[in-house]
Amino acid sequence: MNFKARIYVAGPYSTGDPETNVYKAIETANAIADLGFAPYIPHFTHFWHLRFPRPYEFWLDLDNQFLPFCDAILRIPGKSSGADKEVELAARLGKPTFYSIEELENHYGKK
């Protein structure tokens, strides 16, 4: 399959219920995958952390290693200082940030 672009899915994790936030990130990623994008979901480290906990900063630093390889970032709604920092990093890297699936789709073209 030829994907349109690699999209980093950024959104809340620790604000509110982490499990619900992971579900929302997966749901968003699934929706954009159906539109032909290749989503990267940093929230998947939730499962790693449950088994082998690490400091919060480790997870943020790890996520920042992958963001440069994505073409854009999709910021899903909700309060999140971590996701806001990811948006700032994307801007420094010259990568576009989208705040809705519609914005993303309009930028890259519909399926």
**pTM of the predicted model as reported, rounded to 2 decimal places:** 0.94
Cβ contact 73:86 at 8 Å: yes
Percent of the chain beyond pLDDT 70? 99
Q: Residue 109's pLDDT band (boundaries 50, 70, 90)?
A: confident
Contacts of the segment 100-105: beta carbons below 8 A, 24+ positions apart: 101/28, 101/31, 101/32, 101/35, 101/74, 104/7, 104/32, 104/35, 104/37, 104/72, 104/74, 105/35
Architecture per CATH, domain 6-108, reads as: 3-Layer(aba) Sandwich (3.40)
Q: Residue 110's pLDDT band (boundaries 50, 70, 90)?
A: confident
Please report, for the chain, the start and end positions of each structural domain, with discontinuous segments joined by +: 6-108
pLDDT digits (tens, 9 = 90+) for 49-94: 999 999 999 999 999 999 999 999 999 999 999 999 999 999 999 9
Q: List Cβ neighbours of 28 (8 Å cut-off, separation of 6 or more).
A: 9, 11, 39, 74, 76, 101
Whether 111 shows a pLDDT value over 70: the answer reads no
Residue 32 CB coordination number (10 Å): 22
Cβ contact 78:13 at 8 Å: no
In the sheet where 72-75 sits, what is the strand order? 38-40, 6-10, 72-75, 97-98
Q: Residue 1's pLDDT band (boundaries 50, 70, 90)?
A: confident
